[in-house]
Structure 1
Amino acid sequence: MDKLVQILTESGLPFAYDHFAEGESPEPPFVCYLLPGSDNFAADGAVYYKISEVHIELYTDCKDLSVEQQLEAVLDRHCIFYEKTETWIESERLYEVLYYFEMEV
């Protein structure tokens, strides 16, 4: 997913797939991304068009609209239609803003 890595690089935020290694997590804000599934298009009994589900998890220690806007501006520039949710993770004392969408593989 070269395009996804390019998008995350453009955001200027530190990022890792799934999680950062033990002891290597940067100070918030940071991003973890996952590819939890697919929604492929079939034709003639085969995968014709590969589509991957994408989750981008933005972690902050306080609600930070400017960082959300920074990430969203990059997604918007790449014409990515996303949905988002937000949750407070008490055990980590972090906010997680989850952006989810589908992307061609």
Structure 2
Amino acid sequence: MLDVKVWLESTGMKVAQERFLKPPALPYIIFLETSSVSGADNKNCISDRSISIELYSDKINKASEGAIEDLLNEKAIEYSKDRTWIDSEKFFQTVYDFNLIEKF
């Protein structure tokens, strides 16, 4: 199974699952994951992981976005992308949502 944290760390940015206790300097990545496991013949063998990657940056950061998009494109993962300005924090949040179905 893909280790999402290690995979995202290859971008060179700081990465945490769920949250940082003390957020590092921008840009950084948070990812969230839920999963369901199923199979057949009384055996679980398929994992469907719903993953959200959240990129936080003080400006629209094409280089950081490109690093994440390159990872997704390398694995031919279909994704949706949404960007929001968080006024209370004074930074952008760019979210990539996708499902990763793996057989084990």
The one of 71, 91, 94 aligned to 1:74:
71
Counterpart of 2:84 in structure 1 is 87
Aligned partners of 2:32 and 2:51 also within 8 Å: yes
- What TM-score, normalized to structure 1? 0.82
User: How large is the RMSD of aligned CA atoms in angstroms?
Assistant: 2.0
Following superposition of structure 1 onto structure 2, how do residues 42-81 of structure 1 map, counting pairs within 5 Å? 42-43=39-40, 47-81=44-78
Aligned partners of 2:5 and 2:16 also within 8 Å: no
Residue segments in structure 2 that go unaligned for 5+ positions in a row: none
Q: Read off the aligned partner of 2:10 and give its amino acid letter.
A: E
- CA distance in structure 2 between the aligned counterparts of 1:62 and 1:74, rounded to whole angstroms: 21
Aligned residues: 102
Q: Percent identity?
A: 28
SS in 1 for 2:26: coil
Q: Which structure: greater strand fraction?
A: 2
Residue segments in structure 1 that go unaligned for 5+ positions in a row: none
Q: Read off the aligned partner of 1:29 and give its amino acid letter.
A: P
Counterpart of 1:102 in structure 2 is 99
Alpha-carbon offset, residue 78 of structure 1: 2.3
Alpha-carbon offset, residue 5 of structure 1: 2.2
1:62-104 C-alpha deviation (Å, 9 max, x unpaired): 1111211121112212222211111111111110000010113
